[in-house]
């Protein structure tokens, strides 16, 4: 029973459509009808502005972190589900949120939040890698996929050093999610039409 409830909670956490709710409540705007139509942080920056983008991205990160930390709540401490699995379920909730017609984001920020909750040094590595790639390419999509590759390399080394194969498996799945959700971006990158940011 506890396992079932904690799984549902992880999914519902991931399903919180921060971009949609903040856009509608504070800006009277449905970001699904503007920009890329995506509910994630990047489109929130594009459609709602810097302040909203930062808030949406932060919430999306913390959704993943909160899901991983659910077993720390006394009632859920009896759960036998690995925290990383709960994080993965939150990512699925982010991509297919029940509160937004199952049309969600691309999993990058929430995946990062999962890793922040499980091993924060890993998260720092990914953040640094993301901004280095963004500085070079000016493309958020490319940087997100580049970080997915960095994550695979890091988790492989982590597995060899610590024996924690669970992290590698989850990172591999999250990376697959990220690449799958960026199919249209990959096409635009190949065509040379992918939008670039100007603030870095």
pLDDT (tens digit per residue) in 112-166: 999 999 999 999 999 999 999 999 999 999 999 999 999 999 999 999 999 999 9
At 86 the pLDDT is: 97
pLDDT digits (tens, 9 = 90+) for 68-88: 999 999 999 999 999 999 999
Judged against a pLDDT cut of 80, whether residue 176 lies above it is answered with yes
What total of structural domains would you count in the chain?
1
At 107 the pLDDT is: 86
Residue 200 lies in a domain: no
- Domain containing 31 equals 2-191
Judged against a pLDDT cut of 90, whether residue 41 lies above it is answered with no
Residue 155 falls in which region: left (phi positive, over 0), alpha (psi -120 to 50) or beta = alpha
Name the residue with tokens 């959700």.
181
Residue 199 lies in a domain: no
At 25 the pLDDT is: 95
Burial string for 98-121 (b: 16+ CB within 10 Å, else e) reads: eebeeebbbbbbbbbbbbbbbbee
Residue 198 lies in a domain: no
Q: Pick the closest to residue 68 from 114, 11, 20 (CA basis).
A: 114
Residue 105 lies in a domain: yes
**Can you give the C-alpha Rg of the chain in angstroms?**
17
pLDDT-derived band at 42, boundaries 50, 70, 90:
confident
């Amino acid at each position: 029973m506890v396992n079932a409830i904690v799984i549902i909670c992880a999914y519902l956490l991931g399903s919180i459509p921060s971009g949609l709710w903040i856009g509608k409540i504070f800006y009277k705007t449905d970001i699904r009808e503007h920009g890329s139509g995506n509910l994630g942080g990047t489109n929130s920056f594009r459609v709602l502005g810097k302040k909203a983008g930062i808030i949406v991205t932060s919430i999306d990160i913390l959704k993943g972190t909160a899901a991983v930390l659910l077993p720390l709540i006394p009632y859920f401490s009896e759960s036998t589900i690995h925290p990383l699995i709960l994080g993965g379920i939150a990512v699925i909730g982010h991509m297919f949120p029940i509160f937004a017609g199952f049309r969600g984001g691309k999993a990058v920020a929430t995946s990062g939040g999962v890793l922040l909750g499980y091993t924060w040094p890993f998260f720092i590595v990914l953040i640094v890698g993301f901004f280095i790639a963004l500085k070079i390419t000016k493309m958020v999509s490319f940087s997100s996929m580049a970080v997915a590759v960095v994550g695979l390399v890091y988790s492989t080394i982590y597995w060899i050093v610590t024996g924690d194969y669970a992290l590698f498996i989850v990172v591999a799945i999250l990376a697959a999610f990220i690449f799958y959700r960026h199919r249209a971006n990959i096409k635009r990158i190949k065509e040379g039409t992918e939008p670039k940011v100007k603030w870095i």
